[in-house]
Structure 1
Amino acid sequence: MNVHQLKDNRGSFTIEATMAFPVIILLSVGLLFFGLYMYEKAALQLQASQAAQRIAAVWTNSYANPVTGSVPVSSHDDLYWRTFQDGLPEWFPFLGGEVTAEVNAASVSSSTQGGGSLPQLKLQRAGVFLPPDVTADLQYSRGTWQRSIKVTLNRPLRVPQLFNHWWGLAEVRASGTASAADPVEFVRNVDFTRSYLPVIVQHFKSYPSVFGQASAGSAPQAGSFDKESEARVYLQQTVGGTETTLTTPSGKKRLVDALDQDGTAHQAFLGYQANRTSATENGERMNDQLQKDVELLQSGQVKAVVWHFYKSGRTGKAGPSGPLRAELERNGIIVMVHD
């Protein structure tokens, strides 16, 4: 071999191309299949998110179609399924719970049959509408304030075995999560709270001793009173009423000691009242008060009138005389004696 042969570069391009071309081919094919993998993952992610949203949208009725939302006529779950059949421990609903169901090609045909809890049946029925070439793990989580659906889909990755070996990816996996809203139950709970919370609060206010000790400045406990004004304050706290002035049809003013939220007028009297002409602490005769209350009853301004008689701390007596009580009851006034 001479020097001229060593300096001859003919054929060098072919040798270099032979060495570089396989690498370029592998990189190009690798990028091609990587793009295919990302496409499959994005498509599967979309399917998982859509499946989770559809299951969450029809969670309130296990007979609803997750795709169209249609419900067969007269098909619904039990009335109290939210309390006893929605993945919560029956006696401890505040603990929350979790239910899972696996759906694949083998289980789709029998997914609407068999036993299991109500959440499991809902997940299995929804699995019927998933693509047939995927394996799905459906998960339902129930907390005190939130319900969520998680759908995890697995699909075989259709690439040459060589790339599966290199990348360690035999399948594509994607998951989606959605919250299960229940507008009907939300509106019902809000309406229930607005309607009954004031009643419950008022009920406890009527019994201050329930909390062990009355608040500062409250009226004395039931028993005897030295002044009618003390009995009046105690009556207002007991029935939850307020002092109100009403006008009778004849134009007279009637001071109601405690008018409660139900429209019942309560009057407080101290000691023993012998007859209709006796006067109370405010100087008004019993007969005049009786006539005004009868007018209020007949005109419908109040639903009922209750006269409360409290024991006097000075005399130790309480209540109306026999004739006075008979007159009150004859005119529809309720008599209560606190002795």
Structure 2
Amino acid sequence: MFDGSLQRTALTLAVGTTGAFALTFVGFPAAPLVGAALATSALAWSGVKLYLPNRLRDVGFLIIGSSLGSGFRSELLGQIGGWALSLILLCLSIFATVVASRAILMRGFAKDRETALLASSPGTLSLALSMAVSGRGDATTVLILQCMRLLILSAVLPLGMLLLGVEAGTATGPTETLGLVALLGMLAVGGAFSWGIARRGFPAAYLLGGMIVSAVAHVTGIVHGLPPAELIFAGFCVTGSVMGVRFTGIRPADILRLFTASAASVGAAALISMGFAGVASALTGLPFGQVWVAYSPGGVEAMAAIGLALDFDGAYVAVHHLCRIGFLMALIPWMARRQG
């Protein structure tokens, strides 16, 4: 930490927290997450090198996952089977999003087939980059388009809901705060479980692990309550700042060069997800806003955090985004082989 990473970590957290407080002050939806993401991204675009240690990032994801898990109750287990139609429509939405985004990037912006496919994969940044680095497509273009998609969706989705008059959720999870012993115990077990599944290559491991441990603890009645609001706010700040850190080292000229392609691809993805969410909401009777967040093709950590911040059913949102990641882990390699 004596090579300047400590100072860069402090700067990243300070800027992210400032952005989070600023948007909270003006009443922006999902303000801590969006504010931290926008503030750190703007600083990274200016050429400042930002940094967050992986362990700090994992702690932020663990906190968000633990908060999501507190929304699981024993009666929810009976509802999961009823989400089958919603999950089927989600998979159709994902496939339509990948096909449409790939076509836009290829025909409208002259990207090669492999770059367009990997850049269109909504929410599997690590998979897309690993495939690009191994020789499939332009890794720099894939990285920029994926990061821009995450940032644009995270900022525009809450604002779009506000402008469209979509009401916030009314989730009925616990309102009390966990005691210190219960909180530390749940985070310790969640961290250990997350570390184990991360070693096995699970995507979004710390969010998934924290959510599973918290859900089991709440369903079985071992604990009941949320992490302190200040800790959840910090988790939002870290999660948002992770998006900004990803732009470190990317030239502003490259971002500007690909901005139009990003906007076009993300716009199509947002409209497709909104359309499928409308159909799913009409067929299932679930709130449109909740389904739209669950269908939005962003990063699983960011979208789950937005669902939590907007007080939607955390169990529903998290299960759908984890299903989306699993579907994409099978879909993208299959499509790459077919077009190869």
Q: TM-score range by the shorter chain?
A: under 0.3
Quick check: which one's strand share is greater? 1
Quick check: which one's helix share is greater? 2
- Select the structure of larger CA radius of gyration: 1
If asked which structure has higher relative contact order (CA below 8 Å, sep 6+), I would say 2
